[in-house]
Chain A
């Protein structure tokens, strides 16, 4: 399982990369592996304002649909349209293929997220 340093991780297996007031959000390698082959991605609406914990999007494997949650509050300023035609991009490279970019409106929830080593330990506990 691949975990990248420098990213923050949620208990629901999202990753977030903060750059200034922007946050890139995607799903982790652990998440894509447990879902299996991803065949459908539902992206958020542009300009949607989300609270931390709101549904940001949906990824669906052959077997099931799973919600992706916003790890931080923000406004959707970019969505990764390439995933619409190539949902398997989330399997191939989950850290390169972010799902959406948020303009952070409230960063308090960031403190509750895990760093790489904490997340690794968390995943080991999920097994």
Chain B
């Protein structure tokens, strides 16, 4: 089991440690509901050092990534962050990731922790031209500061004018708490906020300073539990749930990140074919009408026949309702359509509603 550079900090803060993707991380400190609320109303600090980082460099790096990923990087300026699925030939998803473009010949891919080794092997297997890929995950710690007060708090520990960093862009060398960091305006909560990439050995210093200086503005440490409920309300996909080798990005509602007009990319034929034939199933959001909490893996049925399955489900702290995301027969995906969720062998009524469940207006 791996520990992040902040393991001792989590223990000192009374974090309830669990295993996640091969890592020991806090699921909560004071409680998921309270931490969730704090991020929506003030700010939260997350240790996301378990995320993998893969450096892709060389003269042909841009062309290689164009072939590897479904999104189009060709028009991206330097200092831009691009979200993209990475697919198999059959259209299933290897992983979903962020691409940080430093320059035409220099990129950093940020991938899901549990997929890092698989992704790195996949990338190495497909390298072509003048490109090298290096797994630099161990060198980096990653912190996320999220919530309406995130900018104000982070501004207290840096001279760099953060208001100039636009949504999904980054600055490679910002001094934060006296430590050189890469800072992007990104996140996984549905709130404004930043992600900081810092050398692993400097992580405790930045973590401690931020928590101390941010306290007056409501900054609290937040565990994986609230990270999941926050991303769930914003309907941001989680690999292994909304995305997998068996689910295509089109089915998951990520068509905006699949550029079928690109010349070529891995999975294009399968995805173009699926697009042309129309989706037989797709992701939809729903709320429970009857009593019960939907959970990942529960069946969805209509009149006793199975029409899909729950990919993620939870009590929603912000909305006070029991909500779910499901991969369902496309004919049932219109808002207002009712169906059954099978909870412990009982059929419980639910109905389709619009996603995201929670949408905040913040600067982009």
Query: Taking beta carbons and an 8 Å cutoff, which residues of A are in contact with B?
Result: 36-37, 39-40, 42, 58, 60-65, 84
Contacts and interface: CB of A to CB of B under 8 A. Distances in A.
Interface stretch (B72-80, B126-134, B210-218, B314-322): B314-322
A116 to B, nearest CB: 25
Contacts of B314: 62
Interface stretch (B24-32, B153-161, B259-267): B24-32
A78 to B, nearest CB: 19
Contacts of B293: 39-40, 60, 65
Nearest to B344: A58
Interface string B202-231: 000000000000000000000001000100
Contacts of A64: 295
A37 B293 CA distance: 14
Contacts of B98: none
Given A62-B229, A65-B293, A65-B295, A36 B315 contact: no
30 contacts: A36-B28, A36-B31, A36-B32, A36-B225, A37-B32, A37-B33, A39-B33, A39-B293, A39-B315, A40-B291, A40-B293, A40-B315, A40-B322, A42-B291, A42-B292, A42-B344, A58-B344, A60-B293, A60-B315, A62-B32, A62-B33, A62-B229, A62-B314, A62-B315, A62-B317, A63-B27, A63-B32, A64-B295, A65-B295, A84-B291
Nearest to B27: A63
Most chain A beta-carbon contacts within 10 A, residue among B291, B293, B317, B322: B293
Interface in B11-45: 16, 27-28, 31-33
A64 B293 CA distance: 9
Most chain B beta-carbon contacts within 10 A, residue among A40, A58, A63, A64: A63
Contacts of A61: 32
Query: Main SS of the interface on chain B?
Result: mixed
Contacts of B291: 40, 42, 84
Interface string B25-68: 00110011100000000000000000000000000000000000
A102 B239 CA distance: 44
Interface of B: 16, 27-28, 31-33, 225, 229, 291-293, 295, 314-315, 317, 322, 344
Given A39-B315, A62-B33, 4 more contacts: A37-B33, A61-B32, A62-B314, A65-B293
Nearest to A84: B291
A53 B31 CA distance: 30
Given A36-B31, A36-B32, A39-B315, A62 B225 contact: yes
A111 B291 CA distance: 36
A60 B313 CA distance: 12
B344 A63 contact: no
A88 B229 CA distance: 18
A20 to B, nearest CB: 32
A94 B322 CA distance: 23
A82 to B, nearest CB: 15
B344 A37 contact: no
A62 B314 CA distance: 6
A105 B295 CA distance: 35
A107 to B, nearest CB: 28
A65 B16 CA distance: 18
A42 B344 CA distance: 11
Contacts of A62: 32-33, 225, 229, 314-315, 317
Nearest to A34: B16
A106 B225 CA distance: 41
A103 B344 CA distance: 25
